[in-house]
Chain A
Amino acid sequence: MVVISARGLGKEYKLGAQVHDTLRDQITALFRGRRRPSAEKFWALRDVDFDVEEGDCVGIVGRNGAGKSTLLKILSQITEPTEGEIRIRGRVASVLEVGTGFHSELTGRENAFLNGAILGMTRAEITRKFDQIAAFAEMDAFLDTPVKHYSSGMTTRLAFSVAAHLDPEILIIDEVLAVGDAAFQKKCLGRMNEVARAGRTVLFVSHNMSAVTALCTRGLYLEHGRVKAAGTIEEIAEIYLQDALPADGQTGFRRGKTRGSGQIIFTDAAVGSETLSGSVVCGSGMKIWFKYEATRPGLAAHFVVNIFDRQQTRLMSLDSLTAGNLPQIFSQKGEVTMELSPEFALTPGRYLLELSALVHSEVTDHVPGAVEFEVKDGDFFGNGRKSCNTSALMIKTQWSVQGVD
C-alpha cells in the first residue's frame, strides 16, 4: 500500500528578499508610489513525484542544495509547497533535530515531557515510557537537574532518547545520527533499525551514504530540486557515487602527455575507497589500482605512484620498491592494487594520480594526471562527525592532557 505519494511537488523561495521588512520601508514605499524591486525567485524543489510503500525505509540523498531539507519540511508540514501535493496515510512523526524545544533552565524530566509533547506524544504515552527513555539515555541520577548543568553529550543522549521512543506509523528523520559519541551512535542506529524492521515506514535524509545504505532499503536521489533517480538503495548508491566522478565524464584512466621507453606501459587505472568508484570517502581508506603491459615477461621493474593536489603540489610519492612488498620480477601483463591505511587520509577535494613505471632506473612509462579523483567528506575519526577540514591531510591521533592547577 502506498502511504506517501507526492505529485508535481514544487517549492519556490524568494532570493535575497529582505524578509524582515520594517514598517518604515513599507510606508515610505507607499508614499513614493514605487514598488520595491521584485525579488529574484528560485525553485528549491520542482516537479517532484514519488511514492513510498508501507514498510519501506527510504533514504533521501543528494548534495547540498539539492532540495532534501525543503522536501523534509514540506513532508513535515513546516512549510507549504508552492505547487503540487502530497498524500500521507498514517500518523507521522518527524525529527528534524533532536532536542527541539529543550530549555536550559528546565530539568531533564521537564524537558523530556515537553520535547515529547512537541514531537507529538501524549502525556500518558510519555509517562508510560519515561523509565525506558531515562534508561536508554543512560541517566537517572540527573533527571531533576536543570539541563544547563548537563554536558552536551548528556543533553543529546536524553534528546535522542525521547525521539527514539516515538511510535508513529511514518517516521521522518534528518541526519540526527550525527550526534553523540560513537558508542551511543551505534545504539541509535540499532534503535532506528529496530523501528525499520518493525514494519514502520521510515524516511531518512543524510549526507552519510554509508549510514543510508546500512539503514535503508530504497533510495530517492535529488539533484537541483528534482528527482534524479529512485530505486533500491544499492542502485541509488551506485548512481550517487558515479556522480562524484570528475565532471567532464572521463571517469577513469587517461593517457595524456606520456613519455618513456615503452617497455612497460600502463593500460588502466582507478581510485576508490571500497570499490574503485573514482571517489574516496575521507576515513574509509583508499585503494589505487592499475593494469600494466610489458613487452616481455620477467622484467625487473618497479612502480611509482604520486598524488598531486590541484595546485600541482606533490603530496605523496609511493615507490613499490621501497614501500611495497611486490616481487621484483613481473609477468607480462598484470594488475596491481595498493591500499592506503585508513589511519591517514586526504581531505576533501580533487586530486591527480601520476603513474610511473621503471626498469632499473630507466623510465618506461610516465603518465601524469592518469586519474583525477575526488575525496569526499566523511567520518574520519569514527565518532559520527564530519571531521575533515581544509588542510591537506588527516591523521589519526592520540591526545593526552596533564592539567596543572
Chain B
Amino acid sequence: MERIIRPQRGMIAVNFAELWRYRELFGFLAWRDILLRYKQTYLGVTWVVLQPILTTVVFTVLFGRFAKFPSHGAPYPVLTFVALIPWQFFSNTLAESSNSMVASARIISRIYFPRLIIPASVVASGFVEAAISFVVLAIFMVVYRVTPRPELLLLPVFLVGTFLVSFAVGAWFSALNVKYRDVRYIVPFVTRLGMYVTPVPFLWMDVVPERWRLWYCLNPLVAMIDGFRWCVLGPNFTPYWPGFALSLGVGLVLLVTGLMYFRNTEKTFADIV
C-alpha cells in the first residue's frame, strides 16, 4: 500500500472510504463527548429528562391553554414534546459542534485524521439525549393514550435526518469558525431566532398564512418536525408534502455545501487554527 502526499488542487470530494477507516476514532470521540457532558453534573441524566418536560409544560400552558392553538385532536403535551426532540437535538448540539474545531485545535495540529469526524462526533453524542427523550415520549404516549401506529417505524429515519441537518449546519459553522471567530456570536443568535421560526409549540399550518407557507419551509427542520409528528400522531398529521419536499431539499443542499466547504478548507485548518 503506497500513500502519496501532495498538494490537492481543485474541488476536494468527501473521502468516504477514509471516513469508514476512522470509524473507531469517531466512536471514541463521541463517547468522550458524552462522558464529558455528564461528568460533574449533579443532575446528569435527570437534567436531560427534566429540560424538555418543563419546556413542554410551559408551552402547553401558554400555547394550548391560553392562546388556544388548535391541536387537531392530539393531546397538546404530546404534540409539543414530540417536536421538541428534533429541535433540542439540533439546538443542543449546534453550539458545541460549531466550536468543535477550535476546541480541538491541539489535536488538529498534532495528528492527522479526517477532520469531519470532529463535528460529526459532537452531533452524534446527541443521540444519547434523543434516546432518553424517546423513553420519555413513550411514557407520554401511555399517559395520554396515544396508540402507536405503523408510521412509528419511520421515526428512526427522521432522527437520522435530524442528525444530518444538525451535522450540515455544524460542518458549516465549525469550518467557518476556524477562520472567522465571529461564528461564536452568530450561533446563539441562530438558536434563539430558530426557536421562533421552527414549529415546536404549535402546528405551523394553522398559523402561517397560505402564501408564506413555502417560505416557511425553507427551514430544514420543518420537515423533520412534521415527520416526527406524523410518525407519532398518525394520518391527521400527514406533512404538507410540497413544503416537506422543499424543506428536505434545503437540508440536503446545506449538507452537500457544508461538506464541500468543510473539505475544501480542511487542509488549512492546522495552519491557522
Contact = CB atoms under 8 A, between A and B. Distances in A.
B2 A100 contact: no
Interface string B24-48: 1101110110011001100000000
Contact of A79 (B2, B6, B270): B270
B112 A78 contact: yes
B111 A118 contact: yes
Interface centre among B31, B32, B180 (most CB of A within 10 A): B32
Nearest to B6: A85
Nearest to B31: A114
B271 A79 contact: yes
B104 to A, nearest CB: 8
Contacts of A274: none
A89 B112 contact: no
B179 A114 contact: no
Contact of A20 (B4, B108, B272): B272
Given A20-B180, A22-B182, A123-B24, A87 B4 contact: yes
A77 B112 contact: yes
A85 B36 contact: no
A83 B110 CA distance: 21
A106 B32 contact: yes
A88 interface: yes
A80 B32 contact: no
A312 B94 CA distance: 63
B110 A78 contact: yes
Contacts of A19: 179, 271-272
Contact of A119 (B39, B40, B109, B111): B111
A13 B31 CA distance: 36
Interface string A48-91: 00000000000000000000000001111111111111111110
Given A22-B180, A74-B5, A87-B3, A122 B111 contact: no
A89 B32 contact: no
A95 to B, nearest CB: 9
Nearest to A13: B271
A117 B270 contact: no
A94 B107 CA distance: 12
A87 B25 CA distance: 25
A117 B5 contact: no
Interface centre among A23, A86, A90, A92 (most CB of B within 10 A): A23
A110 interface: yes
A21 interface: yes
Contacts, number: 105
A223 B6 CA distance: 22
Interface residues of B, number: 35
B117 to A, nearest CB: 11
Contacts of A88: 2-5
Nearest to A125: B24
Interface string A1-43: 0000000000001000001111110100000000000000000
B122 to A, nearest CB: 14
Contacts of A106: 32, 35-36, 39
A96 interface: yes
Contacts of A101: 106-107, 111
A113 interface: yes
B267 interface: yes
Nearest to A88: B3
Interface string A371-391: 000000000000000000000
A82 B112 contact: no
Interface in A234-285: none
Given A20-B180, A106-B36, A100 B5 contact: no
A97 interface: yes
Contact of B36 (A21, A23, A103): A103
B15 interface: no
Nearest to B180: A23
Contact of A118 (B107, B180, B267): B107
B2 A86 contact: no
A105 interface: yes
Given A80-B7, A83-B7, A23 B270 contact: no
Nearest to A116: B28
B28 A78 contact: no
Nearest to B112: A77
A87 B32 contact: no
Contacts of B8: 80
A82 B6 CA distance: 8
B111 A78 contact: yes
Closest 8 interchain pairs by CB? Answer: A85-B6, A77-B112, A117-B28, A19-B272, A86-B5, A80-B267, A100-B110, A96-B110
10 contacts: A20-B180, A22-B181, A24-B182, A78-B270, A81-B5, A87-B5, A90-B1, A103-B32, A103-B36, A114-B32
Interface of A: 13, 19-24, 26, 73-90, 92, 94, 96-97, 100-101, 103, 105-106, 110, 113-114, 117-119, 122-123
Given A83-B7, A87-B5, A106-B39, 17 more contacts: A13-B271, A19-B271, A20-B272, A21-B179, A22-B181, A75-B5, A76-B112, A77-B5, A78-B112, A84-B6, A87-B4, A88-B5, A94-B111, A96-B111, A106-B32, A118-B28, A123-B28
